Amino acid sequence: MNDDIPKSKNSEGKKQWVVPQPIRKDGAGGLDLGPRDVLRDLQNPDMLVPPPTDAGLLPNLRMSFSDTHMQLNDGGWSREITVRDLPIATTLAGVNMSLTPGGVRELHWHQQSEWAYMIWGTARVTSVDQNGRNFIADVGPGDLWFFPKGLPHSIQGLEDGCEFLLVFDDGSFSDLNTLSISDWFAHTPVDILSANFGVPEAAFVGRPDEQVYIYQDTVPGPISTQAISSPYGTVPLSFTYRLLEQTPIITPGGSVRIVDSTNFPASTTVAAALVEILPGAMRELHWHPNADEWQYYLTGQGRMTVFGGNGTARTFDVRAGDVGYVPVAMGHYVQNTGTDTLWFLEIFRSERFEDISLNQWMALTPKQLVKDNIHAAPELMDALRKEKWPVVKYPPFGKK
């Protein structure tokens, strides 16, 4: 029967399955001849054939935006990953949104703080704080914004439109369940609106009868033509931050930019790292002592193994558009398995970015303890680094 399954020769001249099979190199496993989604199997080589070091029960830690509901509006679209889709992700929820040129995410606010990363294009964001101090800024690729919980804000696509990632500091948040100006107008008696603004009821005949969410408008002129002068001034801490202007930490395998309340003071509840992993490199073995990690993959493809203690570990294949999740303190690495550079965001519900490097921990611990604990070879002991290298080469040497 096996002879009926098409095979081809790989680069080493060995026969291999044209359609990937759940068979490990050591022979474990067997053919999958039943119903299957070959396209997904091709995207999930380390899930179809997990490394033999995987073991035990770890929950699903990955979800693709491609598997979510698309909210389509005149003016843009949005889709979200919350605890409803990825139950482990209780600390943060994410929304992927695109606005057309002139498209507006309407004036609204919510009970959660909003952190955002601009993926492509440009947008104008506005806000007003509790003291009547206002904010307006244009953001482009790699720029962040942060709106503290409860503060009203808006987003509008500029000349080329835009796409961005929104992250909220509550895993059960939904962007389709926010407080919006149109919804409030629609659900307030018109005599109350009339009294509130001191104008006749007739002034409200054109108001929307439900939440607008996203709508198409014209591309606005420069900020100078739109900015409103407040007698109370502008917000004291900028709500935007240009992450790509930050000098990165560069190591042999890539780079890292860290942003949290120490360099982006407005961002009091969300911290992040933008990580670049070159082809043939990996984010080193590490963990985060202070918070769960919510990941967003921007480009490329990779794999991540999460170590959960008690003999458990599970490997996930990830690619651009995926969200990954690592519960607090669980060990992990992210390896670039493709030919393109892998860029991803590590995001945390915390005022600080914190990570512990396995390598650095071992380097700064008495040698006898480390050596005898894991029977470390002399070359391992000699290679330990006291400095953190967030991204390292793979393979480091020897085999290609």
Which of the residues are catalytic? 346
Q: How far is the CB of 390 from Mn ion (least distance, A)?
A: 9
120 bridge partner residues: 163
User: 336-395: which residues touch Mn ion (CB under 5 A)?
Assistant: 346
Provide the mask over 19-58, with x wherever binding to Mn ion is found by CB under 5 A and - wherever it is not: ----------------------------------------
Closest CA to 123 of 94, 106, 100: 100
Region at 216 (left for phi over 0; alpha for psi -120 to 50; beta for the rest) = beta
User: 222-281: which residues touch Mn ion (CB under 5 A)?
Assistant: none
Q: Which two tokens stand for residue 165?
A: 């990632």
Closer Cβ to Mn ion, 276 or 293, answer by number: 293
Q: Does 114 bind Mn ion (CB under 5 A)?
A: yes
Q: How far is the CB of 232 from Mn ion (least distance, A)?
A: 22
Closer Cβ to Mn ion, 49 or 81, answer by number: 81
Q: What number of chain residues touch Mn ion (CB under 5 A)?
A: 3
Q: Does 106 bind Mn ion (CB under 5 A)?
A: no
Q: How far is the CB of 124 from Mn ion (least distance, A)?
A: 14
Q: How far is the CB of 85 from Mn ion (least distance, A)?
A: 19
Closer Cβ to Mn ion, 151 or 362, answer by number: 151
Q: How far is the CB of 236 from Mn ion (least distance, A)?
A: 21
Write the burial class of residue 369 (CB in 10 Å: 0-12 exposed, 13-18 middle, 19+ buried): exposed
Apex 386 CA angle, 371 and 328, nearest 5: 85
Question: 390 by DSSP, 3-state: which?
Answer: coil
Closer Cβ to Mn ion, 49 or 277, answer by number: 277
Question: Any idea what DSSP says for residue 110?
Answer: -
H runs (alpha helix) in the chain? 38-43, 45-48, 181-186, 190-197, 223-226, 358-363, 367-374, 378-383
Closer Cβ to Mn ion, 65 or 109, answer by number: 109
Provide the mask over 287-306, with x wherever binding to Mn ion is found by CB under 5 A and - wherever it is not: ------x-------------
Reported in sequence order, the residue ranges of 222-262 that DSSP labels E, i.e. its strands, are 240-242, 249-251, 254-259
Chain contacts with Mn ion (rule: CB under 5 A): 114, 293, 346
